[in-house]
């Protein structure tokens, strides 16, 4: 069971997609979606009824006989294909997530279905967005404001975040090699289809996550605090400490060479080379290889030294004056 933290409840009150005052304002887009036999999911009794009144029949309606916590009769009778599921307020049960995944895989224009929730369906948008195909539309009501249209191809970053978070959680208690794709999808609450739409393998999750994190590193390197070699080493040391779990898994997966190549390329692009001869290019690889070798030993020893201590060790090992012969440090 996934329980929504109080810290996120306020965030989820914000629209996931486009807010429209009325379903009528997007009727043409919805009709086109149905004509092309692309998925439409309606979440909520009022939203479902408003769509039917406008002549739009979603392939999936998710209802709980409530609106603003008050009883309501939706009177949906367009299909006998009804799935019943329990889901208390403020949570997503594994059963509810599974029913959503099954329904997304089964529903079509000719096979519409209703998910009847005993409890509340307020969080249904999360598993629906994560597991729907990239051309799906999801609609849900925004109290006293209108209807929200979520175009899944514009928010599939949520799927990736769930998968990455699931892998990192599993790695806290399991070896990387022992974690299966099924383990990841179960913890993330995503279907295998949704998983393979975003990643080819576990290694892809790690490398792509590290690339995203590395973009933050480059932003820091372009700040005033990285205007000399020791300042750069301090920032990189902090980056490695913050991402130790992922980087260790990358080494465990035999992908250390990818990490070396990636960091070497980024650092080389960051530093203008003072001399154009070959030695300038080799200098970057020399320093990157040396720094990563020290970091690897730092990991293996349990990172007992602080960021400041390991950075100081590296600065004393590296000939800073020699590095200045090859590298020009950008000034901001």
Q: Residues 33-58: pLDDT tens digits?
A: 999 999 999 999 999 999 999 999 99
* Domain CATH for 191: 1.10.10
Which of 142 and 324 is assigned the larger pLDDT? Answer: 142
Asked whether residue 48 is domain-assigned, the answer is yes
Same domain for 20 and 149, yes or no, is yes
**Structure confidence at residue 104 (pLDDT):** 94
- Nearest-angstrom CA–CA distance, 90 and 26: 29
For residues 179 and 213, membership in a common domain is answered with no
Query: Residue 330: inside a domain, yes or no?
Result: no
Residues 116 and 99 sit within 8 Å (Cβ to Cβ): no
In a domain, 286, yes or no: yes
Whole-model pTM? 0.61
CA distance 235 to 267: 13
Q: How many folded domains does the chain comprise?
A: 3
Q: Is the pLDDT of residue 216 over 70?
A: no
Share of the chain above pLDDT 90, in %: 33
Tell me if 141 sits within 8 A of 148, measured CB to CB: yes
Query: According to the model, what pLDDT value does residue 219 have?
Result: 62
Residues 210, 186 within the same domain = no
Domain span at residue 166 reads: 157-198
Q: Between residues 260 and 191, which one has the greater pLDDT? A: 191
Say whether both 28 and 144 belong to one domain. Answer: yes
């Amino acid at each position: 069971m996934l329980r929504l933290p109080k810290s996120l409840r306020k965030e989820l009150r914000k629209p996931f997609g486009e807010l429209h005052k009325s379903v009528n304002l997007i009727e043409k887009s919805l009709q086109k979606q149905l004509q092309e036999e692309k998925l439409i999911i309606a979440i909520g009794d009022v939203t479902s009824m408003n769509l039917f009144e406008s002549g739009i029949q979603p392939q999936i309606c998710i209802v709980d006989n409530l609106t603003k916590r008050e009883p309501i009769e939706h009177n949906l009778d367009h299909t006998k294909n009804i799935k019943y599921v329990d889901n208390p307020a403020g949570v997503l049960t594994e059963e509810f997530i599974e029913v959503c995944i099954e329904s997304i895989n089964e529903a079509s224009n000719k096979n519409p279905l209703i998910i009847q929730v005993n409890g509340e369906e307020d969080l249904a948008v999360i598993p629906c967005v994560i597991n729907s195909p990239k051309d799906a539309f999801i609609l849900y009501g925004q109290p006293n404001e209108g209807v929200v249209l979520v175009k899944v191809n514009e928010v599939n970053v949520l799927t990736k975040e769930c998968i990455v978070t699931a892998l990192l959680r599993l790695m806290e208690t399991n070896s990387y090699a022992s974690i299966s794709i099924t383990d990841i999808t179960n913890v993330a609450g995503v279907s295998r289809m949704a998983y393979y739409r975003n990643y080819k393998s576990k290694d892809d999750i790690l490398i792509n996550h590290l690339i995203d994190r590395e973009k933050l590193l480059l932003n820091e390197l372009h700040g005033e605090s990285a205007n000399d070699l020791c300042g750069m080493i301090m920032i990189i040391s902090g980056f490695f400490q913050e991402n130790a779990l992922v980087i260790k898994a990358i080494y465990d997966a035999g992908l250390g060479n990818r990490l070396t190549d990636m960091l070497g390329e980024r650092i080389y692009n960051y530093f203008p080379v003072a001399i154009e001869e070959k030695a300038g290019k080799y200098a970057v690889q020399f320093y990157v290889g040396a720094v990563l070798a020290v970091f690897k030993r730092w990991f293996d020893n349990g990172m007992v030294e602080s960021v400041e201590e390991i950075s100081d060790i590296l600065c004393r090992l590296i000939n800073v004056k020699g590095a200045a012969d090859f590298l020009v440090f950008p000034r901001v």
